[in-house]
Structures are given as C-alpha cells and as structure tokens.
Chain A
Amino acid sequence: MAQPPETRREQITDALPSFGIADPDSNIAWYMLIFPKIALMAAVLILPFLGSVYISLHEWAPLATSHPFVGLENYARLLSDSVFHSALINTATYSLALILIDVPIALGLAILLDMNLRGTRIYSASIFLPVVTSWVVVSLIWTWLYNPDYGMINAFLNVFGIAGLDWLNSRDTSLAAIIIMSIWKHVGFNMVIFLAGLKGIPDSYYEAATVDGAGRWERFRYVTLPLLKPTSFFVIVVTLIFSFRLFTQVFVMTGGGPVNSSISIVYYFWQQGFQEFNMGYASAIAVVLFVIVFAFSIIQQRSWGGDVDY
C-alpha cells in the first residue's frame, strides 16, 4: 500500500545525476555483495530446478550407468496412476479444507483479539503456541490424541455419549484427522497476519462510520471487510501454496495410509524418488507440483501487482 511514493522516489533518484560522489570501485562492490547469494541460488535452486525437468524426461535409477531418455512417458504414466490420482485428490481436499475452515477461523480469532479485551496477550500467545512448535512434535502429540483406545479425543467424545472413531487407522477418517490437526497447528499463523491487517486500518475510518450511525455489524461489514480484502487474498493464496507441500504430518501420522487414503503429492514424490528410487518418475511428480503452485503464484503476483516494483 505504501509503494507508490517509493516508486516515484526511486524514479526521481534514477533520473538525477549522481553528483560525482559515487566511488570508482562501486560497481565491483555491488557485484561482490550480491554474488554469494545469486551463486548459491543458481547452484541450489535454479540449476536443480532445470535438472528436475531434465530428469523427468528420463528413466533414472541413481546407481544405473545409463539413464535412457523416455520423453513424456513419465507424465503419461501419471495420468493413469491411481495412487497419484489419490495423492492429487487428497492434497486438493486438504487445501480446500484449509481455505474454507482455517482462514475464516483465523479471521474470527483475529477480530476477537483486535477488540483489545483484557487478557488478549495470553489469548494470542496460547493460540500461537502450535505455530512455533514443529510439525513433527505436533504430529506425535496428535497421533497420541487420536489413539482409538487411550486418546483424549475419543475419551472426550465418550463423555458426550458419542462413539469414538478409529481416526488414523480408518480409510474414512485418516485424511480428516490430518486436516483437523493441521488447522489447529496453522490457524495461529493466519490469525497473526489478519491481526496485522486489522491493526493497519486507521481508527478514523471507524470513528467516521460511528458518527454516521453505523453499529458494530455495519462497521465490520462496510469498513473492516472491504479494507481487509488484500490481506485476505494474500492469506488465501499463501495457505494454498503451503498446503500443497503437505508431507510431515502424513509421514509421522499415517504413512499415507490406510490404503493411500491420506497420501499426498509430496509424500508420493518422496516414496517414488527416495524409497523406490524411480527418480525420473518422482521428478515428473515434482514438475506437476511446480506447475500447480506456479499457477497459484501467478494469481498472487497479479493480486499484489503494483506492490512489487521492479
């Protein structure tokens, strides 16, 4: 939001003569400053990214002496691979559930915390606690919570006379169990971003609305929501992008099972690439993942559009 004046300033300084105070070695100095990062990015991200595309066109076993070129065969195989279809559907379901449940809860909690009630610090600190805990730890704790015989969740349900579920060991509930736990872990992250967005709305807007006779609901509907649009859009796209990386919870809690009912794209990629050592096939999965995430990123770039000034 604060970008336009900045851009203008940059254009102005660009247009000004440099007054001859730039030191003679400045160009080299700038290259020296930027070189380490760019070199590392090239070696670790850009070249391997191109490598992924290359390997995906080959049959690639790590210890084989030759890696025969197979064209698009790996991609063709993906089209008819039912495990990959499960992975795709599960990941999309996970992603959609996060958008539809996690994001609204995060917004709701942020609004409550923005009321500046007494104890807000304790409230926000508690909700944020799972965010700073690692996925592995949280997955372990929840595997125990989901334990069908000794877990707290079934115990809790039993108190209300509801029969417990076989959460992680049943095809019907394994993905849902992972989704519930992931929302619990992740909602504080989005909440904090929403909270920063809410704090960014000037009080004068609310005061003006109150003077005009707007009640709590009207102020929310006609001031908060419209002004929170960019933040909401950002939160949704980032949640989408991150949700497609689903892996750790699946690894720790279900191993993709039972019968692939909770397998994710990245889990299948890891299985193919580093368990079965079908690296060509795994790379094809990786490239598909890239295409999906790239599509979301394009939407995101569009949304901030003017924000990123080149």
Chain B
Amino acid sequence: MKRRNIVCAAALGAALGATPVAAQDTDTTTAEFEKFRAVMEEANPAELFELKGEELWRTRRGPKNASLEKCDLGLGPGVVKGAYVQTPRYFPDVGRVMDIEARVVHCMITLQGFTYEELAKQPFSTETRTPDVVSIVTFIAAQSKGMKFDAPQSNAQEREAYELGKAIFFHRAGAWDLSCASCHGADGKRIRTQQLPNFTNPQQAARGVLGWPGYRMTGGVMHTLQWRMNDCFRQQRFPEPKYVSEAITALLTYLTVNANGTVYKGPGIKR
C-alpha cells in the first residue's frame, strides 16, 4: 500500500520518499485554498471563454460556412441548455456513445466541414492558443449551471460504456503498473498538497466532474475533461489516447454516471 502511494507522488514529479499523510493533516491547507478559490470563482476568467465559445457556436465557419446552431447535443438540434449534464449519451445517428467534446468535434466535422485530423492536431490549450472546441465546450457547459448531472443509462450502449469505463478505471498497466484507482480508489490520498478524490466513494465521486471545464490559474489556460483524462493517462505512463476516443468517452461515462444527482456549478477554476 505504502509503495503505491509513493508511486502516485512520483507520477507528478514530486519528491520521492515523501511519506503519505492522512487527509486530516492537510485539511488546513485545503481550507485555505478553498477560500482563495471562492474569491476567484466570483470572477472566473472561464467566462471569457464562454463568451468566445458562444460567438463560435453562432458564427458561420468552416469549409461548409455553417454555424453549429443545428448541432444536436442529445436534446434536439440547437438545444444547448442542459446538454452538458446529460452527456455522455448514446447518439443513434452515429451508433455510439459520445461525451460533449466528442459530439462538438462530430458537429464541426459534419456541419462545418472541418476534418478530424486538423481538430486532433493540437486539441488542447496551451499558454498561447485555445482551440475553438475548448471555448465551445465551455460555453455549452455554462448553460447547464445549477442543473443536476443526469447522464443517461437507458440503453445497452450506455450501460456498456459505463462498464467499459469502470474496467479502464481499474485496469493496471504501463511502465509503473498504475491504474486510475491506484490514486483515486481510496480515501485520503494526495499528490504533493493536492487531495485526491476517491471516485469509488459515492460522496466524492462528483469531484471528478465538478469544476470542469476549468480555468487553470497556472499558465492561465482553459482545459476540458478530455484534457484531464489525457493528462492522467500521461501521468500513468499510458500510451497517449486518440483524441475523443471511445475509451475516454467510456471513462467519462463511468465518472459522470457516478456523479448523477449532484448539482453542476458551471465551469470552474483550478490551482
């Protein structure tokens, strides 16, 4: 058990040999950070990306010179309100389960004529560039603020995605033999001063999806859950997943369904 904790710490490049401490020892640090976060939440720069995303959603763009206003996010063409908290879901038109980012990419390809290759080339934000998809997802997410997570499990495909996501969550692999559960499968784990939520604990499960998409103060960049999953895979020394792949959608299905019933507070702010 102890060995695995240390491996988790190393995954972020933290000092080896740091003794894992119980949650209560770092509660004051967490409480102080929560105060800081509360102040920042009143004026979250994520709103700037919402504005940008809204404009991108309505503007005619791409080779087909079309807007995304006919994009069906699961609640009918153009319906944005509530779509974020009700995905991932099964989309009969493509015959697969998609999370919100996968669906936006799908719409940008089918409605606007962009190619998967150009969207997947640099899909995540850097300090100097925020991909359009990220701003659009932030805009969509903000329209579900105050609504409860309600990712459906109403057909075989959605239930299969959940089971697949669960299997990926517990699958140990890679150079360090880690799984998601190595760090997120028990209470009181941390990486440096970061408390890690235990996604197998129903009380903490929602912490995996709350606050995403999130504005990261370090570097001032906007990130989506696709990025978060991608970065966890990198920290686990897993092969890099394909952008908006079925595996990531499945993992997001597992995390979101576990959070069902929790009120979504909108795009968040990260350290």
Q: Verify that A and B bind, or say they do not.
A: no
